[in-house]
Amino acid sequence: MAATYSTQRYADQFQEEVKLIVELKTGANDADSADVTKALISAEGVLGESVEFISKEEALEEMRQEMSDDIVLRDMENPFSDMFRFSVDAAHFNEQSIAALKQHIESLEAVHEMHYPAGMYDPVFALLKRVQAIGVAVILVFVLLCAVLIHHLMRMNILAQRKQIRTMQLVGGHSSFIRKPYLIRALQMSIMAWAIAGIVCLATLLFFAGMVRTELSPADMTIGAVILFILALTVCLSSTWVAVTRVLNTA
């Protein structure tokens, strides 16, 4: 779960940090820039807070800072024009959505061209999806193994007390009465198992979140805790129920 969660978070964060560029035509004024800003902010999928106006002077200065050792850049003529830099959310970071956005933005009179890294990051996203799929498979295998292990432990615990169960049955104890203390004990064990698993999973998630520099969502953490609790409760109670029933039926 931690690997899947972190991989998806990292993929989404990576997509939302990719910058797209809108290059304005030469001679575009402040009114044109305001129109482009409004169009970008209102466009579907664009992260409004990421929209940033970069003047041609600022663009040249950024390039000079990145290539400070190149003497030729000091006296070169500015090749840039005013531009906007922005990002889109992960759900819209795909060829179809960006192509539609490009067509919409380039229809504005002040826009010369919109640039975006078409297909450049596809291998990265394919690798992340593969890692996520492998993570899900590993998680399912571990869940299955844990469920089988818990089932056998609960069954062995009940079988070790089969004489007590048969004694209660011989003195007239009803099946529901006999099952009750064992189910209560199973409930206590499931809560303890859930607490331990929750602490381990939270520590693992915090570790992976620190590696990919992302924040944990309280909603996702709550959902994960609920799923863990349901799994622990279901496995422990069902295993105890089945084990006690078998002993009662063979008595």
Query: For the chain, which residues make up each domain, given as ranges?
Result: 19-120, 123-250
pLDDT band at 214 (very low <50, low <70, confident <90, very high): low
Q: State the DSSP H helix or E strand holding residue 115, giving kind and residue range, or none if neither.
A: strand 111-115
Determine which helix (DSSP H) or strand (DSSP E) holds 195, and give its type and residue range: helix 175-212
pLDDT of residue 92: 81
- What pLDDT is attached to residue 4? 54
* Res 38: pLDDT: 92
pLDDT tens for 55-90 read 888 877 777 776 655 555 556 666 778 889 999 888
% of the chain exceeding 90 in pLDDT? 3
Query: Across residues 244-251, what is the average pLDDT?
Result: 78
pLDDT at 120 over 60: no
Distance CA 119, CA 207 (A): 31
What is the DSSP secondary structure assignment for residue 222, as one 8-state letter?
H
C-alpha span between 64 and 177 (Å, rounded)? 81
- One-letter amino acid at 130 equals R
CATH number (3.30.70.3040, 3.60.15.10, 3.40.50.1980, 3.40.50.10440) of 19-120 reads: 3.30.70.3040
pLDDT tens for each residue of 15-49? 777 888 899 888 888 888 899 999 999 998 888 88
Beta strands in the chain (DSSP E): 20-24, 52-54, 83-86, 111-115
> Which residues have CB under 8 Å from 248's CB, separation 6+?
165, 169, 175, 178
- Res. 143 pLDDT band, cuts 50 70 90: confident
Which residues partner with 22 through β-bridges?
84, 114
Question: Which residue, 29, 79, 84, is CA-closest to 52?
Answer: 84
How many C-alpha atoms does 142 have within 13 Å on its Cβ side?
9
In DSSP terms, which residues pair with 23 in a beta bridge? 83, 113
Write down the pLDDT at residue 60: 74
Higher pLDDT, 241 or 74: 241
